[in-house]
Structure 1
Amino acid sequence: MSRTRLTGIDAARGVALLGMMSTHIFPLYDPETGSPTFVALVFSGRASALFAVVAGIGIALLTGGQNPGAGRSPGQNRRGIAARALVIALIGLLLGGLDTSIAIILFHYAVLFLMVLPFISMPLGRLAAWAGAWICLSPVLAYLVRPWLNENVSPPEVGGNITWEHFLEPATLFADVFFTGVYPTVQWLSYLLVGMVIGRLNLGALGVQAGLVIGGIFAAVAAKFVSAYLLVDAGGFAELLGTESGQRWPIGRMMEVNLTGVDQSGSWWWLAVSAPHSGTTLDLLHTCGTAAAVVGVCLLLTRARPNLLLPLSAAGAMTLTLYSMHIWVMALVDAQEPALEPVWVFWPQAAAAVLIGIAFAKLGSRGPLETVASGASRLARDGTLAENRR
């Protein structure tokens, strides 16, 4: 791997990739007991959040790291990121046409790249203030807006992955992408902003790396403790059981794994939840904390030996290609009858991702889709496909 590249960041992205793959393949509930599985308890909600936080770190590094905008104008940086977003969106739309049960993140990911453009030139202090405010206020905005969308937009969500045909229903598409879908970008922008804050730090400094671990763990644990106090000691959970969703769903069990698809309305106590994919302030704080801790650990482990986590960092350096391959493979797997055992689906894919990543790393090459995205970014930013090494 390039000596100038922070392989710890790539390793964290590799963790996110394998974690997301595991939640796509392994059951999240034990079919016999109904209890959450190990994969659900460890990776559900956290892997995808890590993916988004590392995306924010990447944007910060692309736009100057500790010196935002260094060497290029803000307009150039914005054009480059917008072009990258366009490529990612097109790939997401193509994958959305596959017959798969996986909620593909790429189109929403591209929208997040566009949403973050106003923030790329902000100094660290102002950016951190925006990130904190967004974590606190975006869930409140979503809580207020979702009921209106559910009543006035028909249907209020696309009901699957986004494809070209959904552009014929712009209101539904807007509602799904920003508020009502699996990855509501209004709340998910928090992850990219936090990632950009991390990316503006001196990531090579030992104190910063250790601070990410300690601060991340503290934030993650504190969010869970506050949520537990509000729901159990303050009586919030009993109030939620009285809502329509509380009477319809086993929300106690679902709060351990995933609240996707649960209508979180009818009580302000929903904002006290920290469940995966609930999109509340405490959920965002918890998952930002776990993401920061993983990034810090990966940076510490690769501090003296950049290739120590090569299987993860090599795969993490080409996640766009590997994620797309995974979605395509899963579309084929889902069509198999009888269904394959999850262990025989996950481990070959994980091994293939690692081996492909190492092969490209040894060749000193980007992945195919990374090459396209980077080329489009350079063309829009610098007016040339040639890489300008600064």
Structure 2
Amino acid sequence: MAPRTPKRKSPGQRFAEQRLTGVDLARGAALLAMMATHLLPTIAPNAAGHAEPTWVGLVFSGRAAALFAVLAGVSLSLGRVPAAVNRLGLAFRAAVIAAVGLSLGMLQVDIAVILVQYAVLFWCAIPVLRLGQRALVLLSSAWILLAPIATFELRPWLLGSTDPARLGHNPMWPDLADPLKLVGDLFVTGFYPVIEWFAYLLVGLWIGRLQLRRWGVQVGLLCGGAAAAVLAKSAEWALMVPLGGRAALMETPQASQWPLDAMLQANLTGVDQSGSVWWLATAAPHSGTTLDLLHTVGTSAAILGAFLLVARIRPLERIGLLRPLAGAGGMTLTLYTVHVFAAASSEGGGTPGLEREGLLAVHIVAALSVGLLFRANGWRGPLEWATHGASRLGRIKQTTTARGSRAKSPLR
């Protein structure tokens, strides 16, 4: 009897097998955690009427978005054609993401949309894509140490000008008419300052160069990340409590304008961190300080390591428990965009009678269900197809340009 010809796999099946499941799981977790911080309060009044951090603020605030950014760097080192080879494709891919982000900025929604900054981070990564692991470790370490100091010095200067470089809203298409203010807001004064957040991408690039399929690397990420996170919080406690940092911040004008004690625990977004060098000593979520970056880099590495280890548990994969979350993680751009649109609709009265917790449950169930459907069929999300097409276009154009240059060169 003639041997059976192996069944040819579809492009969708080959695509699904190329993905590293643990990375998709971590990316899916980051998406769901960001949904929680978007739809549930991070600070709320207690029974006595005083502001205090909620469980969402204590667990997810700052860490979810940081994980999203670190995994962006990891993704640049993965795939059949790494970004270091396809730099023009990465630039085109980032342009698509920026266009989506600028469009979401037009919505009336109480969410700090990260996509434009996400795209700018990709553009900023192009010059460092070919760096080796040692260079990336040194650069990311220096960045974590020095970038917060740079923004601390630049921010008062940009905000003190006659036309302050702060948008006060998500970047949107009309902001392109004032490029200087837009650039200042994206890099220094906005919700996700690129100067500080570039540290996450650098760390992600380094992690992506590791042998992520190896058990020892996965355990190292989990343990090393957890140690870095604990070290950062321990250093913050030493600086803020015994050495008087928190007391000094409570004497600043900001303490009379904001519920600063709760915000230092849950979310420092919107607080003008100026007037005291003690702002640099906190590890508060979204403070962008060295200790905040170190803590959230550590939690991101630990979470990625944990999910890489979970993905090794074959029984979970066989019964399909990992597929919904991994599927959602494989199409985060599409699901994030739909989530923001849905949140804008609900803020406009689109979900009468539905509490915030119920709305979050709807968003999570929808994301996991759609993720499972697309994962089971080996599909990319619609916006993932758009970015993939842009990346392929860049690779074709880059290859064509390189061939043309070689053909014209007299030295062959």
TM-score bracket, normalised by the shorter chain, equals: over 0.9
Report the counterpart of residue 149 of structure 2 in structure 1. 140
Amino acid aligned to 2:252: T
2:81 counterpart of 1:81: no
Amino acid aligned to 2:66: A
Amino acid aligned to 1:78: R
Report the counterpart of residue 217 of structure 2 in structure 1. 208
2:173 counterpart of 1:164: yes
Question: Mapping of 1:292-371 within 5 angstroms?
Answer: 292-305=301-314, 308-336=321-349, 340-371=354-385
For structure 1, which segment, 126-135 or 162-171, has the greater mean C-alpha deviation from structure 2 after superposition? 162-171
Amino acid aligned to 2:44: D
Structure with the greater alpha carbon radius of gyration: 2
Paired residues of 2:18 and 2:79 also in contact (CA < 8 A): no
Distance in 1 between residues matched to 2:101 and 2:331, nearest whole Å: 16
2:62 counterpart of 1:45: yes
Distance in 1 between residues matched to 2:373 and 2:363, nearest whole Å: 15
2:243 counterpart of 1:228: no
Q: Structure 1's 341 and 244: CA in aligned 2 closer, same or farther, altered over 3 A?
A: same
Runs of at least 4 residues of structure 1 off by over 4 A? Answer: 62-65
2:165 counterpart of 1:176: no
Paired residues of 2:35 and 2:360 also in contact (CA < 8 A): yes
Distance in 2 between residues matched to 1:48 and 1:297, nearest whole Å: 18
3-state DSSP of counterpart to 1:35 = strand
Paired residues of 1:333 and 1:340 also in contact (CA < 8 A): no
Distance in 1 between residues matched to 2:54 and 2:251, nearest whole Å: 27
Paired residues of 2:136 and 2:202 also in contact (CA < 8 A): yes
2:71 counterpart of 1:57: no
Question: Mapping of 1:63-142 within 5 angstroms?
Answer: 69=84, 72=85, 77-142=86-151
Q: Which runs of 5+ in 2 are unaligned?
A: 1-12, 399-412
Per the TM alignment, residue 153 of structure 1 is displaced from its structure 2 partner at its CA by 5.3
Q: 1:250 aligns with which of 245, 251, 259?
A: 259
Amino acid aligned to 1:41: L
Distance in 1 between residues matched to 2:19 and 2:165, nearest whole Å: 42
Per the TM alignment, residue 348 of structure 1 is displaced from its structure 2 partner at its CA by 1.2
For structure 1, which segment, 315-324 or 22-31, has the greater mean C-alpha deviation from structure 2 after superposition? 22-31
Paired residues of 2:36 and 2:56 also in contact (CA < 8 A): yes
**Cα displacement string for residues 238-260 of structure 1 (whole angstroms, at most 9, x for unaligned residues):** 22223222343231111111111
Per the TM alignment, residue 236 of structure 1 is displaced from its structure 2 partner at its CA by 1.3
Report the counterpart of residue 263 of structure 1 in structure 2. 272
3-state DSSP of counterpart to 2:229 = helix
Report the counterpart of residue 207 of structure 2 in structure 1. 198
Report the counterpart of residue 396 of structure 2 in structure 1. 382
Amino acid aligned to 2:335: L
Q: Structure 1's 357 and 214: CA in aligned 2 closer, same or farther, altered over 3 A?
A: same
Q: Structure 1's 309 and 153: CA in aligned 2 closer, same or farther, altered over 3 A?
A: farther
**Cα displacement string for residues 171-230 of structure 1 (whole angstroms, at most 9, x for unaligned residues):** 221111000011000000011111111101000111100000000100111100101100
Per the TM alignment, residue 304 of structure 1 is displaced from its structure 2 partner at its CA by 4.1
The alignment yields a C-alpha RMSD, in angstroms, of: 1.8
Distance in 1 between residues matched to 2:155 and 2:17, nearest whole Å: 47
Per the TM alignment, residue 308 of structure 1 is displaced from its structure 2 partner at its CA by 4.8
Per the TM alignment, residue 64 of structure 1 is displaced from its structure 2 partner at its CA by 6.5
Q: Structure 1's 52 and 42: CA in aligned 2 closer, same or farther, altered over 3 A?
A: same
Paired residues of 2:158 and 2:164 also in contact (CA < 8 A): no
Q: 1:274 aligns with which of 280, 283, 286?
A: 283
3-state DSSP of counterpart to 1:59 = helix
3-state DSSP of counterpart to 2:206 = helix
Amino acid aligned to 2:126: L
Amino acid aligned to 2:223: I
Paired residues of 1:81 and 1:377 also in contact (CA < 8 A): yes
Q: Which runs of 5+ in 1 are unaligned?
A: 385-390
Amino acid aligned to 1:326: H
Paired residues of 1:13 and 1:319 also in contact (CA < 8 A): yes
Distance in 2 between residues matched to 1:4 and 1:162, nearest whole Å: 34
Amino acid aligned to 2:340: I
3-state DSSP of counterpart to 2:17 = coil
**Cα displacement string for residues 291-316 of structure 1 (whole angstroms, at most 9, x for unaligned residues):** 11110000001024356522211100
3-state DSSP of counterpart to 1:285 = helix
Amino acid aligned to 1:40: G
2:25 counterpart of 1:11: yes
Distance in 2 between residues matched to 1:293 and 1:272, nearest whole Å: 23
For structure 1, which segment, 331-340 or 96-105, has the greater mean C-alpha deviation from structure 2 after superposition? 331-340
Per the TM alignment, residue 89 of structure 1 is displaced from its structure 2 partner at its CA by 0.3
Report the counterpart of residue 388 of structure 1 in structure 2. none
Paired residues of 1:302 and 1:308 also in contact (CA < 8 A): no
Q: 2:293 aligns with which of 284, 299, 302?
A: 284
Distance in 2 between residues matched to 1:250 and 1:349, nearest whole Å: 30
Report the counterpart of residue 387 of structure 1 in structure 2. none
Per the TM alignment, residue 29 of structure 1 is displaced from its structure 2 partner at its CA by 2.4
Distance in 2 between residues matched to 1:325 and 1:293, nearest whole Å: 28
Distance in 1 between residues matched to 2:354 and 2:168, nearest whole Å: 26
